[in-house]
């Protein structure tokens, strides 16, 4: 297997993942971004925890979808994430009406 084959495979998986994201994003209320992953979820709880002179964040997500091309199943009931980096959470806006 050549490097071009591997890059082609990864590019096709990334495109499949983007298409899946586009199809499912309307099912979720929040977008959560950490330094390692990107999540869609319906509820998120963030707790800042002191650790010596630093702070880490503990996130609890429910009804989540994980942006990861290597996961066999991206839908998970609950996720617990621990990170020392900043966390970005955005509430998704829902259209007031749906187009037919």
The position carrying tokens 């429910």 is 62
Which residue in 72, 60, 74 sits closest to 30, CA to CA? 60
Segment 42-86, tens digit of pLDDT: 999 999 999 888 999 999 999 999 999 888 889 999 999 999 888
Calpha distance 29→65 (Å, rounded): 11
User: Phi and psi at residue 60, in whole multiples of 5°?
Assistant: -120, 120
**What pLDDT does 72 receive?**
83
- pTM over the 0.95 mark: no
Show me where the domains of the chain are located: 3-91
DSSP, collapsed to helix, strand or coil, labels residue 35 as coil
Cβ neighbours of residue 45 closer than 8 Å, sequence gap 6 or more:
59, 60
């Amino acid at each position: 297997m050549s490097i071009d084959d591997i890059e082609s495979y990864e590019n096709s998986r990334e495109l499949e993942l983007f298409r899946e994201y586009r199809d499912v994003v309307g099912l979720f209320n929040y977008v959560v971004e950490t330094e390692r992953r990107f999540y869609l979820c319906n509820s998120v709880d963030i707790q800042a925890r002191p650790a010596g002179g630093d702070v880490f964040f503990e996130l609890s997500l429910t009804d989540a979808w994980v942006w990861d091309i290597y996961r066999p199943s991206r839908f998970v009931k609950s996720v617990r994430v621990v990170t020392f980096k900043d966390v970005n959470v955005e509430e998704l806006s829902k259209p007031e009406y749906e187009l037919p």
